[in-house]
Structures are given as structure tokens and as C-alpha cells.
Structure 1
Amino acid sequence: MTELEKYRDQIDAIDRKIVRLFHERMQVVEKVADYKIKSGKSVFDSQREQQKIRTLGELCENDFEKRAVVEIFEQIMAISRKKQYQLLTENGVTLPVDYASTEKLHFHNARVVFQGVEGAYSFEAMKTFFDDSIETAHVSTWREAMELLARHEMDFGVLPIENSTAGSVSDIYDLLLHYHNYIVGEQTIKIDHMLMALPGTRMEDIRTVYSHPQGLAQCSPWLDKNHPEWTRRQVLNTAMAAEKVAREGRRDQAAIASRSAAEYFGLQILQEGGMSAEKNSTRFIILSARRCFVKGARKISICFGLPHACGTLYNILSHFIFNGLNMFKIESRPIPDRPFEYRFFIDFEGNLADPAVKNALRGIQAEAVDLRLLGNY
């Protein structure tokens, strides 16, 4: 046996001891959980954990080992909490969830609001998701749509939240925080941008092109290459750009919008195809002021803040790993009046009735700041 092999044997023996001791520790953790179930005491005691970690760190002989021991025991304690959350759920100690479960969404004769005008992509998303019985209304801004839902003047709203090429619509995340409306569904629409103008307009006539900021961003490579001299102007909606060009009747103006917008406003399509990415699509969320989820829902959206400390996001994300939950997306938004601090928005796979979801949400609620459930859909 070489000298290296002897060292490896020593490490193997020590590791087996560590595993046995870890098992013993977890058995005690189960007893702690049993006590907390009976007493109603909270699982997470941040002050106690930090004091214990500092004490253990002081036992080390150098700074490197101190940092290592702190990291090891932060993870051991996080694992212990997850075990306690699991046992609480198994013993029927669950979090109250004020969401009503339903077999399906009821939207026959519902009042539905979308931002923009007829011919907008949000209009297409609405027509795709709902049936023909609905009563529709349109508004100029996303905030107006949220207001109508919050006041129960409309039953559902349709708003864009993410584009496959331009990314997230950050303003929608901010509005989700401001209004207590809830995601009850989603609809993805293929985005096929087209350049349109008054009938008889030539490319050389155009001086200004209008569209929503996302539309301009998605078509910027084509514009940069073919018509960098055009002035680009933002409007609230792609269909509003088409409506503006049709209403003002100027041949030096064009719009970037959908084919249906061109047809609705009587505009001529000057360029179709190749203006944006081939696989360009936008995900729209369906919102309601009513807290509900269908029994077959498989996606959950949440948001939360975190203490401004090392490792807090890592610890939160570990709740998804330990409970076998697939995370689809994470987004951060700055917290007003708290410079360089952020709230996090996460979409993950699951249903509120799933035990794994209950375990994860219990842990996140205990360890994050102001957890909000935005919807199960």
C-alpha cells in the first residue's frame, strides 16, 4: 500500500464516521420536530442558528477551517429544517392557503379586459384563450387593466409577461406587486411582426416607424441593417401604432404590428417575415381578482424578498431541489426605497395540493421576507 492509499483509507474511515454522526443528528432532529409539532413552536430560529454557527466556528484553529465549518453547518442546519418541514406536513400541520380549488375556470359570459386595441397581440391571446361568449373591453395601459380587475369591474385581464427574444416585461412584475390580482392561466402567442403603412406607400417614403418598445426591440436587427435612418417612436401597443398610422394618414409613417392589425385598420403590408426571430413568441398571463386554481394546474408563480446576506438566495432555491420541484424561471426586480435590494419572482412546476409544494412553500415562507403566492395555473 502506497502512502497516498493509506491517507485515502484514513479519509474513508473518517467519512464513514461523519455519515454515522449525521444519521444520529437527523434522528435528534426528528425528535425536535415532534416537540415543535406538539408545542406549535416555529421551525426556523435564525438567532439560535447564527449563535451556534459562531460558536462552532470559534472551535477552529485557522480562518480557512473556520469559513469551511461555517459553510458546512449552514447546510446541515438548512437540511435539518427541511426535514422538520417535511415531518410537519406529514403530521397534518399545513399552511393555510386561501385559494379555492375548481375543476375548471368559468368564463362563459365573463368580462375580459386587454391592453391595446383590436388587432393587438393581447387581443389575439384573449380570443385564443376564451370562448366567443365573453364581453370584451380594451384600455390604453396595463395599469388600467389591473385597476379594473382590482375593483371587480372586469372578471379577467390579459397581459404580456415574457417574450422569447426580448425577455421579461418588467412593468408587469411591478404591477403584480402593487395589485392583489392573481394568475389563473396563461396563453402563448406566436409573434409575427410586419411592417405596414397606408396603401400606396413606398419604402423610400417612410421616415418614422412606430411600435411598442418590445416590437421595436425585437425588430431592431432588421431595422439596423435595412433602414437605420428611420426614426423609431414608441407607443403603448403594436396595434395602437397601426391605428395611429391609419388615423393620421401620412405616407412618411409606418407601423410594426400583426397581420390582423393591418387588416383591421386597412393598412398595406410592406414587409412580412424576417423582421424578428423565426421562433418569436410572447407569453400572456390571464389575471383575476379571485383567488382560485384548477385541480390540474401545473405551474406556480411566487415572489418574495430576502435578507441582504450571503447565501440567502441559495438557501431558498434549495427548497425546490430537496422537494424535487422543477423551476422554470427566476426574475429579480429592485425594491423601491431600498437601493440595490431585490424581490425575486419564481415560476416552478407543481400544484398547491401537492405535499412537495406544501413543504417548499412552508420553508420559503419561514426563511424569506413577505412571500406572496401569485397564482397556480
Structure 2
Amino acid sequence: MATLEELRVQLDGIDNEIARLFEERMKVCGEVGEYKIQSGKKVLDRQRENNKLADVASKVHGEFNKKGIQELYTQLMSMSRKLQYQKLVEAGALGRLPFIAIESLEKEKARVVFQGVEGAYGQAAMFNYFGESCNGFHVHTFRDAMEAIEEGSADYAVLPIENSSAGAVNEMYDLLDEFENYIVAETIIPITHTLAGIPGTKLEEVKCVYSKAEALMQTTHFLDEHADWQRISVVNTAVAAAKVAAEQNKEQAAVCSAYAAKLQGLEILADNINDEKNNSTRFVIVTNQKVYLKDANKISISFELPHESGSLYRILSHFIYNDLNMTKIESRPIEGRNWEYRFFVDFEGNMEQPAVKNALRGLREETRNLNILGNY
């Protein structure tokens, strides 16, 4: 029997030959890419790839080797496509992305909308990004805000998309897919919830607590200490404060910000009741214009995939190959198609960067309904 060192020498020899053949294969793949540039053919030929996988599997023995060689060739063909996408981009075949780079947003002249009422965290986010003297107004729902910028009654909307403890705001992902509006910036604000009630109210008098569903989730530990309290969801924390103030009932309280409580003349019954003391919410600044700031460094996209094994794995390889750091992935059900999902991905980059262009070219060919939601 050969020694371990002798076996390793054999493997090194085989690996050297594999490396040589890999370079030879990629050279031919590059020529294939040149041909496709000239002929206008698509890079991805799924039927050709399926035939190749079946062919190479027929040339080896045993189920382990058959599965292994198909996985190997799946990667080889993926690398071939990425090389061809790179050549297409270098040849200008990506086409101009329909986004215009701008130096800055016109904050002073902008009309800005947020969801909720005076005192909402959305208002705080608006002030944080646009300044407290901005020309802002509020609407009842997220949809109302998206419609306001779509129809032009507002230039920008400030809307929550993610909380550090409660996670994604699912409705916002659905609306970003539905409306042709685009993210141009983001701002993150700390979220500190209080329990507020009519002045003079004692905790033992409270029977019902109002707030936004996410705020009730973010204060579960405190609320669970009062198991007899009924929890009722409303559209916004500030709306909850306004309701309690309007009804003047000591049996009611609101989970809201201290600012909302002050605006409504409520008394803080318990302060800083968050489960997570470092709680914060990421808000996105949305507009109906396809623009991005020149110094933008994050891109949000959405896409659909074939409902088959390995489809997401293959798509994520475009970020790895182009050295792009993916910072977030979410999925949402596709309406009318049970158990199929639309994916939302955030990754670092700017649309002017070659690596981003390469990745977008590959994603455009290998996904369904790719949408660039913004570069910010």
C-alpha cells in the first residue's frame, strides 16, 4: 500500500493537470463569450447546461461520483457564465442603467411625507434626515405615503423598513415591489418606548394598551408582567397616544414615544420599556425618481427564482464571485403562487462599479423580474 505522502504526490500531479485544463477550458469559454457578444445570443442556455450535466454523469461510476461531478460542472458552468457576463459588460452590453447620479438631495425645498400623526417615530426620522424645519406632512398608512410620492404631492417619503429587535417591516417590502418608487437614502433612529396614560393614572387602573403591532412586540417582556392587560394594535404609536388622549379613559394606555406623550398631554406611567435596550429602526427615504447619490454605497434589489433545488444558491454566487458583501436577504410570498417567494437583497456597492455591473448582468439573466429598488 502506498504511503500517505505518496498518495499526496499523486493528488498533486492530478491537481496540476486539472488546473491546466481549467485554464484551457476558461480560455474557450472566453471565446464563447466573444461569439455571443457578436451574435447577440444569451449567456444562459439552461437546456445546454442540463444536457451537459446528464452527459458528464454518464461518464463516471457510482451515485457518489455522479452527484459529485454534476456539482463540479455546475460550478464550472457558473464560472463560465460569470466570465461571459464580464466580457459583455466590458463591451457595453449591459446597457445604461436607468438611474441618474446626483450630488445631493434638495432637502430645503423638498416636501416630505411620513406615516402616522404628529409625534410618530416616522416624524422623528424625517426630522433626523431633513431637519426640523422641513416641509413635512403625515398620512394614515404606508400605502398613502407611497401614493403621495407616486402622484407627486410629496417629493420624498420616510418609511420604516427594519427594526433591530422586531425585524423586517413586511408591508414595506410588498409596497416597494408594487410601486415604481425608489430608495435614495436611509436613516436610523433609536426607539425608546414608554407607557403613557391620562395624567393621574395608576398602573393598576390600566386594562387596555394600544400601539402599533411592532411596538407591542418590542415591549413584550414589560407587557407580560401585566397579563390581564388587553393589547390592541393600531396603525401607529402616535395614533395610539392620540386615541388615549381623546377618550380620557384611565383604563387605557399607549405604548409610544415620550415626544408623542408630551404632544398629547399624556403622563408617562413607565419609561424605557423596550425588551431590547439598544432598539433602533432603519427608515428609508423613498422618491419616484430613478436617482442615486454619487457616494451611495448600498444597493437594494428584488427578484424571483425558479421553484427548484439550488436556484438561490446559484444566484448568491454572483455576490461571492464579484466580492460584493451581501448585508441582508428577505423573502415575501408571491401573490397567487403558493409556496413561491420574491427575494429582497441588500448589498454594498455603487452602480458605477464594474463588480456591481457584472453582478447585475448575471442576476438580470438568471432571475425573473429583477428590480433595482435603489442605490443609497
TM-score bracket, normalised by the shorter chain, equals over 0.9
1:194-249 deviation line (CA, Å, top 9, x unaligned): 0100111111110001110000000001111x211111010000000000000010
1:263 aligned partner = 262
Could you say what secondary structure the match of 2:219 adopts?
A: helix
Unpaired segments ≥5 residues, structure 2: none
Instruction: Tell me by how many angstroms 1:90 deviates.
Output: 2.3
Report Cα offsets for 1:76-130 as digits up to 9, x if no partner.
0001111111122223332331111101112322111111001010000001111
CA distance in 2: counterparts of 1:58 and 1:275, whole angstroms: 60
Tell me the CA shift for residue 52 of structure 1. Answer: 1.4
Where does residue 274 of structure 2 map in the other structure?
A: 275
TM-score normalised per structure 2 = 0.97
Letter in 1 for 2:101: S
Deviation at residue 370 of structure 1 after TM alignment: 0.7
Identity of aligned residues (%): 50
**Structure 2 residue 35 is the aligned partner of structure 1 residue 35:** yes
Does structure 2 retain, via aligned residues, the 8 Å contact 1:125–1:187? yes
State the partner residue of 1:181.
181
Q: Distance in 2 between matches of 1:32 and 1:131?
A: 54
- Establish whether residue 245 from structure 1 lines up as the match of residue 244 from structure 2: yes
Greater Cα shift, 299-308 or 58-67: 58-67
Once the two structures are TM-superposed, the CA of residue 2 in structure 1 deviates from its matched residue by: 4.8
Indicate the residue corresponding to 1:117 in structure 2.
117
SS in 1 for 2:154: coil
Correspondence 1:217 to 2:217? yes
Contact 1:163 1:282 in 2 (8 A): yes
Shift of 1:275: 3.2
User: Residue in 2 aligned with 1:80?
Assistant: 80
Q: Which stretch shows the higher mean deviation, 103-112 or 325-334?
A: 103-112
What is the TM-score with the length of structure 1 in the denominator? Answer: 0.97
The 3-state SS of whatever aligns with 2:114 is: strand
**Take 1:2 and 1:35, find their aligned partners in 2: how far apart are those partners?**
47
The equivalent of 2:148 in structure 1 is 148
Give 1:132 deviation, angstroms.
4.6
CA contact (8 A) 1:193 1:276 kept: no
The list of structure 1 runs, each at least 4 consecutive aligned residues, that deviate by more than 6 angstroms after superposition, is none
CA–CA distance in structure 1, aligned partners of residues 220 and 95 of structure 2? 48
- The Cα offsets for residues 258-284 of structure 1, whole Å up to 9 and x where unpaired, read as 011011101000111243311100001
Q: What one-letter code is carried by the residue in structure 2 that aligns with 1:164?
A: S
Q: Could you tell me whether the CA contact under 8 Å between 2:195 and 2:273 is conserved in 1?
A: no
The aligned counterpart of 1:25 is 25
Q: How many equivalent residue pairs?
A: 376
User: 1: distance between equivalents of 2:102 and 2:171?
Assistant: 30
Consecutive unaligned residues of structure 1, counting only runs of 5 or more, are none
- 1:326 corresponds in structure 2 to 325
Q: Does the Cα contact within 8 Å between 2:127 and 2:134 map onto a contact in 1?
A: no
Distance in structure 1 (CA, Å) of the matches to 2:99 and 2:92: 18
Residue 294 of structure 1 deviates from its aligned partner by: 0.6
Instruction: Indicate the residue corresponding to 1:51 in structure 2.
Output: 51
Residues 109-163 of structure 1 show CA distances to partners (whole Å, capped at 9, x for unaligned) of 2111111001010000001111355322211111111111111221111111000
Q: Secondary structure at the match of 2:249?
A: coil
Structure 2 residue aligned with 1:65: 65
Tell me what 1:369 maps to.
368
Task: Please give the per-residue CA displacement for 1:163-202, whole angstroms capped at 9, x wherever unaligned.
Answer: 0000001111111111111111111010000010011111
Secondary structure, aligned partner of 2:105: coil
Indicate if the aligned counterparts of 2:149 and 2:288 stay in contact, CA closer than 8 A. yes
C-alpha contact 2:181 2:286 (8 A) present in aligned 1: yes
Q: Which stretch shifts more, 34-43 or 285-294? A: 34-43
